[in-house]
Structure 1
């Protein structure tokens, strides 16, 4: 996952009051990395996906994602929120992985990223390290596991 995320795409103790705010802040980080062609189109795709089915996966984690032509290069941005936000009717989230995948890689790359993240999230040690890491370098090493 180290090509998909770098230390500039990790935010600790992000302040946000809604899932839309979290998604927009993380999308802007991906845009600053030059990985998006069109921020607005990408955000619209992510929001459409969230409306269809919220992307909270349990354990206080969400993996919103957008697969579209507005993405130049696949990327993952991560935020550990200062305070959990309501993500779906019955779940609050504190850890958010925002995925951006070019349409041409929608099948393979998208599924590989989701599978890799899902395996990590299932491990209690991984979740504890997300919670307890003190700095961006420490989180970056956790995400490289």
Structure 2
């Protein structure tokens, strides 16, 4: 199985001007990793999903995602934002952790498992704090590896 999260998909950013800037930046990371045939279409799918309901799940976390025909491989980009960003979250709190998931059209079952594992992991205050307080992208990537291992294990069940 290919890596779900590659080092170049894990970033620490000072701030974004808007939620849309954050989404566009993260789609750009995924596009560079080679998993999107049409990044503009994927971005439109993610934004469409946000319009239906914010993927700001609360506690400073957002999980924007889309399943689309233009996605060639299941990938996840991770971004820690130093300046909390308004994401219109369900709890009205700004976010500092954004996990964007690009999902091929035919992987619905895997997609649901990944969302569940990620949400469970991020429910833990210590896990979120550890990610937000990572000193640099290398440390953040090392922490994110724990999440990826849990996801890969869930997918093999």
TM-score range, shorter chain: over 0.9
Query: Cα distance 1:112–1:14, how it changes in 2: closer, same or farther (>3 A)?
Result: farther
Instruction: Tell me what 2:131 maps to.
Output: 130
TM-score normalised by length of structure 1: 0.93
Structure 2 SS opposite 1:88 = coil
How far does the alpha carbon of each residue in 1:40-86 deviate from its partner, in whole angstroms, 9 at most, with x for none? 11011001100000011111000000101011101100111121111
Matching of residue 69 in structure 1 with residue 69 in structure 2: yes
Q: Of Structure 1 and Structure 2, which has the larger fraction of its residues in strand?
A: 1
Q: Displaced runs of 4+ in structure 1, greater than 2 A?
A: none
Contact 2:14 2:82 in 1 (8 A): yes
Query: Cα distance 1:50–1:17, how it changes in 2: closer, same or farther (>3 A)?
Result: same
Cα deviation for residue 15 of structure 1 reads 2.6
Q: How many residues align?
A: 144
TM-score normalised by length of structure 2: 0.86
Gaps of 5+ in 2: 147-157
Contact 1:14 1:79 in 2 (8 A): no
Match of 1:103 among 102, 105, 108: 105
Instruction: Tell me what 1:50 maps to.
Output: 50
Instruction: Tell me what 1:117 maps to.
Output: 118
Contact 2:15 2:85 in 1 (8 A): no
Cα deviation for residue 131 of structure 1 reads 1.7
Cα deviation for residue 14 of structure 1 reads 4.1
Gaps of 5+ in 1: none
How far does the alpha carbon of each residue in 1:84-131 deviate from its partner, in whole angstroms, 9 at most, with x for none? 1111172311110011001111x1121121011111101122111112
Contact 1:84 1:93 in 2 (8 A): yes
Cα distance between partner residues in 2 of 1:132 and 1:93: 14
Query: Cα distance 1:14–1:79, how it changes in 2: closer, same or farther (>3 A)?
Result: farther
